[in-house]
Structure 1
Amino acid sequence: MRRASIVLAAAFAAVGLATSVASAAPVTGDGPPFRYADCLKATKAKGESPSYGKWHCDQLVKKGWVSPPTR
Structure 2
Amino acid sequence: MSVVSAAVVVIGALSLPAAAQARTASVPAGPAVHAVRADQPPFPYTDCINAAKKHGESASYAKWHCDELVKKGWVKPPKR
**Normalising by structure 1, what TM-score?**
0.61
2:66 is matched with which residue?
A: 57
Question: 1:69 Cα shift?
Answer: 0.1
2:9 is matched with which residue?
A: none
Unaligned runs of 5+ in 2: 1-12, 24-34
Unaligned runs of 5+ in 1: 1-8, 20-25
1:44 is matched with which residue?
A: 53
Identity %: 62
Quote the RMSD (CA, aligned, Å). Answer: 2.4
Question: 1:63 Cα shift?
Answer: 0.3
2:31 is matched with which residue?
A: none
2:37 is matched with which residue?
A: 28
For residues 22-47 of structure 1, what are the alpha-carbon distances to aligned partners after superposition, in whole Å with 9 as ceiling and x for unaligned?
A: xxxx7523200000000000010000
Higher relative contact order (CA 8 A, sep 6+): 1
For residues 40-61 of structure 1, what are the alpha-carbon distances to aligned partners after superposition, in whole Å with 9 as ceiling and x for unaligned?
A: 0001000001000000000000
> How many corresponding residue pairs?
52
- Whose radius of gyration is greater, 1 or 2? 2
Structure 1 ranges of 4+ moved more than 2 A: 26-29
SS of 1:40 mapped into structure 2: helix
